[in-house]
A and B are shown apart, each in its own frame.
Chain A
């Protein structure tokens, strides 16, 4: 019983250490795949980001160069979008965490006595995945459009101004991001909370700790690994998302995120170097933010 606590400690030491050719052989397909589909495109993206237009060439024709001014240009032009992207992503992550934690706690801890309820609720969390991401977002667009019963109802109750809109506003985009990434937040939280030893909560209570204090001093630190992985799984894709903020979905002209800008530069204006530079910036900023976050939350083991 008490000695099971040692199991995790010794398991690490017991991991096989000898280098095996079979292991290398088994890793080979994965390494080749990553080389081909991750490393090569990344290098190509970096090269593209420094390209310059061919003098007197057509639109979309570029030659290799070292035009680092591309980066300065995109930051000057799209600084606002970059800023907005991370703002929206942070807000969506916070909302998803606030929504998912009680949900995951209920499924993983409170509902332990009723496995049926647990399974049913997990199915409900995962169920939206059976419908395409795009379709779900489109469904929300029509649900929240000006003619929908939700919005007209709110207007009838004078909770919204008669000429106000919901779609196209930042609130709609953040709502969409939060909604779409809730399962990614809930599942890792659930998997750590499910293993939470409730005897520790009793011990906290026995040691003069109010339930709220026990929550912040015991439950939260013990579920930190779930919080960190949930936040990463939500924040990283949310920062680069271009569906929710798109004008075709929940966004409007004033809600364009970095993903939308990259998309239009690549596909509409054919400004490949600018799009590539923006992509690199997005990646770099996410990397820095994630590293700082993981360091501060003291869960380096995850990376």
Chain B
């Protein structure tokens, strides 16, 4: 650790073959990840998917069972947390209750013997608009203010890498939106590499340049938010990041630029380049807001998929849009989001309707149909452990 100096700029983070086992379960199976310098990276996943463990490994608060961690090309796997140019905004904030806000922020600077810690701490507090509360104790602040102090305490050190562990979890919706924007602008201002862990898909999509969706200790898909949303590759991503209508069927025909899937007698066409698999049983899907609702049977057109007739079994109003759940015989339920451009719902419960969508909006998943249920359970690490143990035991019995 260079004492008395700041990191020049953000640094690359590289995780190579990381595995983390705790007594009784494996939190991370095998993880390879490169996060380029200066980016805002989000690790998104349900609780227990290994995202916080990943963050703690990078911070040095846990040691990986296998693999190595590189920051700016330098192997830091063996370094202690205080030797790493990494700072964390903890989920619990972990502000020192016996120190004032100012001393909390100056703590890291003092430990590294950086000149003028108080002045720099004030600057950081100005950045998060809390300089007027510098002499207060953390417990005299509101949750949102504490969060900003935690942020100031981390960024004041100009770390090569800033880790954020669900820092907005305790805030109410409005404050969270405000903080999301603030975080984003701070990141642009100071140019650090941010790694943000969250289970809030909206937060991840608004803030990050790149999102990695994690499930059961592995990264399911990685990419820009739009890419992940518009072209999910697995059923988990399709359902964790927003909602999806998924249909499983056999590929019945293909042209040069599209494939057709036979779902219980209904043909659904998707573009070939948006499908991960082109043969056999495949799962295809479409986002609910891409669907159009029709009261009369739509004309069969090339370039459009249509389903129906079905019956509306649920209508729920959510302000900007209305969500219709439609039961179509043979196809199960389909969800449609319709923008509320007029007053009142387009059709009431029990009405007979058809749905259609542009072929270009469909996507094909890479999962083996049947291997994953249509809506996979939110598996926590404990149940993964149980599964692993069972697999291991059957393996032992065989040999």
Contact B143 A210 (CB under 8 A): no
Contact A202 B111 (CB under 8 A): no
In the complex, the chain B residue whose C-beta lies closest to that of A220 is B98
Q: Does A56 reach chain B (CB closer than 8 Å)?
A: no
Among A7-33, those with CB < 8 Å from B are 8-9
Contact A202 B82 (CB under 8 A): no
A6 partner residues in chain B, CB cutoff 8 A: 139
B321 to chain A, nearest CB (A): 32
Known contacts A5-B139, A5-B146, A9-B139; is A205 also within 8 Å of B80 by CB? yes
User: Once bound together, how far apart are the Cα atoms of A222 and B96, in whole Å?
Assistant: 9
A298 to chain B, nearest CB (A): 9
Q: Does B185 reach chain A (CB closer than 8 Å)?
A: no
Q: Does B371 reach chain A (CB closer than 8 Å)?
A: no
- Chain B: how many interface residues by the 8 Å CB criterion? 32
Contact A218 B96 (CB under 8 A): yes
Q: Does A203 reach chain B (CB closer than 8 Å)?
A: yes
A3 partner residues in chain B, CB cutoff 8 A: 143, 170
* One of A2, A197, A209 near B111 (C-beta < 8 A): A209
In the complex, the chain A residue whose C-beta lies closest to that of B112 is A208
Q: Does A301 reach chain B (CB closer than 8 Å)?
A: no
User: Once bound together, how far apart are the Cα atoms of A238 and B157, in whole Å?
Assistant: 47
B108 partner residues in chain A, CB cutoff 8 A: 207-209
Known contacts A208-B82, A208-B112, A210-B82; is A2 also within 8 Å of B92 by CB? yes
Known contacts A208-B111, A210-B82; is A203 also within 8 Å of B96 by CB? yes
User: Once bound together, how far apart are the Cα atoms of A280 and B60, in whole Å?
Assistant: 58
User: Once bound together, how far apart are the Cα atoms of A3 and B153, in whole Å?
Assistant: 19
Interface size class of A (residues with CB under 8 A): 20 to 34
User: Once bound together, how far apart are the Cα atoms of A209 and B147, in whole Å?
Assistant: 21
Contact B153 A207 (CB under 8 A): yes
Q: Does B65 reach chain A (CB closer than 8 Å)?
A: no
A239 to chain B, nearest CB (A): 29
B80 partner residues in chain A, CB cutoff 8 A: 205
Known contacts A3-B143, A208-B82; is A222 also within 8 Å of B97 by CB? yes
Known contacts A3-B170, A200-B94; is A206 also within 8 Å of B146 by CB? no
Contact B157 A208 (CB under 8 A): yes
Contact B138 A5 (CB under 8 A): yes
A226 to chain B, nearest CB (A): 13
Q: Does A65 reach chain B (CB closer than 8 Å)?
A: no
B395 to chain A, nearest CB (A): 30
Chain B interface residues (CB < 8 Å from chain A): 1, 59-61, 80-82, 86-88, 90, 92-98, 107-108, 111-112, 138-140, 143, 146-147, 153, 157, 169-170
User: Which 7 residue pairs of A and B lie closest in terms of their CB atoms, listed nearest first?
Assistant: A207-B108, A203-B94, A208-B111, A205-B81, A2-B170, A5-B139, A221-B98
